[in-house]
Structure 1
Amino acid sequence: MQFDPPLRPARLIARYKRFLADVITPEGETLTIHCANTGAMTGCATPGDTVWYSTSTSATRKYPHSWELTETQQGHWICVNTLRANQLVREALTLNTIPELSAYSHCQPEVKYGTEKSRIDFLLQAEGRSNCYIEVKSVTLLHLGKGYFPDAVTTRGQKHLRELSTIVAEGHRAVLLFAVLHTGIEDVSPARHIDVQYAELLEQAQRCGVEVLAYRAQISPLQILLTHPINVAL
């Protein structure tokens, strides 16, 4: 996924009201930019970090600039725009760069499914193969050298794990795909110290047959690509 035009840098002053952040450009201009990430963003929004932002041409937007990446003072790159995870996975599925999920002829996003009225991120189908349901989660939490999900208690994520387990019981294929959007993360674990129920449900889901994958991204102001698998340690 390429950024066109390339992103522009600024220094983070503060994030506030969940959806907003103030930054100062290299020219000394203070901007208020939109933040699509409603999560805790632990370690992703430290004042003084370099923010890389895009600019919309829409005349109706109150805040035309959007926070896309953080370049931390430790030298890590993080994609903080949560909308990008599904876009990256969709691109990878189209290009067949995730071998575990190749050989499907049809990919449909946002399909209603399950007993708890959920929407699966992607449904893959091919003649002669079981349907494959893929739930995508963006991973940006780095703690003591390891990556974790989630960064806050997620009842929605818990629901998705129950739904995926049910899908397997019905004879279909179910995949939880962690899109690791932090270049400092080398492996991923459930954040038991944050959401113990999610961690337990994830272990149960894997025992039920839900496949758990993690792919790390290569990140720069020019482009983001999911490049290679990393270990998931449950």
Structure 2
Amino acid sequence: MKYPSAIAAKFLKRPNRFIAHVLLDNHEEIVHVKNTGRCKELLQEGNVVILEESNNPKRKTKYSLIAVYKGNLLINIDSQVPNTVVYQGIQDGNVKELHDVTVLSREVVFGNSRFDLYFETKEKKGFIEVKGVTLETDGIAMFPDAPTLRGTKHLYEMVKAVEAGYAGYVVFLIQMKGVKYFKPFEIRDPEFTKALKLAAEKGVKVLAYDSIVSEDEITLGTPVDVRI
């Protein structure tokens, strides 16, 4: 996933989930934030952030905030890219658990949910749900950074798919490099953690991959240990 344009700025404040104020070329600019999560650990005053410039003249904001430096670590926080990154990774054969996929489709309905991906191999058919991970503490990647009723619902729906004979995968895309392992953030959302544990017990495969991140690009990295 490559961005056509990327420019660095300095984060000032975030008055609500959708916009932030940044300092760009010594001018205060209001920008769109492409992540409605908390991101409080990342969006701290003075941090260097990366903006994507829009070519849509009708937009209210000229730029979107897509990444942030946490010290020397660059973290992509664009919640719209994980599905594309994992989709491309599977197509390129870089997800070892799904290297033999012959059919891959996006946004497929099952029951009361719409899963991110549907796949087929010679032996099985199944669904994949992708979750972007931007929260890191002491080298540990965690999800979610805020309670997610929708995410919990998807897990229970994935269990139903497995019980109906489909294969089920949840892929956590860690939008950075260098983490030690991944785990659900139980304190932040105990219900999601409970649902993830149940899903794993029922046969849903839980995977985590990190990402290769630059200021204008994010691609699938390598597998990360999952500890539920």
| Paired position in structure 1 for 2:35 | 37
Q: TM-score, normalised by structure 2?
A: 0.96
Give the 3-state SS of the residue equivalent to 1:232 in structure 2: coil
Indicate which of 136, 158, 171 corresponds to 1:164.
158
| Paired position in structure 2 for 1:140 | 134
Distance 1:112 1:44 in 2: 34
Q: Is the 8 A contact 1:52 1:68 kept in 2?
A: yes
| Paired position in structure 1 for 2:47 | 49
Distance 2:57 2:103 in 1: 36
Distance 2:62 2:119 in 1: 35
| Paired position in structure 2 for 1:151 | 145
How many residue pairs align between the two structures? 228
Indicate which of 154, 171, 181 corresponds to 2:175.
181
Q: TM-score, normalised by structure 1?
A: 0.93
Q: How does 1:89-108 map to 2 (within 5 A)?
A: 89-108=86-105
Distance 1:108 1:174 in 2: 14
Q: How does 1:65-144 map to 2 (within 5 A)?
A: 65-72=63-70, 74-114=71-111, 117-126=112-121, 128-144=122-138
Aligned residues: percent identity? 29
Distance 2:219 2:97 in 1: 17
Distance 1:84 1:189 in 2: 21
CA-CA distance at 1:219 after TM superposition = 0.8
The C-alpha deviation readout for 1:47-101, integer Å capped at 9, x for no partner, is 11111011111121111211111012x2111111100111111111221111111
What 5-or-longer segments of structure 1 have no aligned partner?
none
CA-CA distance at 1:104 after TM superposition = 1.4
Query: Which structure 1 residue ranges, 4+ long, deviate > 3 Å from structure 2?
Result: none
- The amino acid of 1:8's aligned partner reads I
Q: Is the 8 A contact 1:138 1:180 kept in 2?
A: yes
- Give the superposed CA RMSD: 1.3
| Paired position in structure 2 for 1:225 | 219
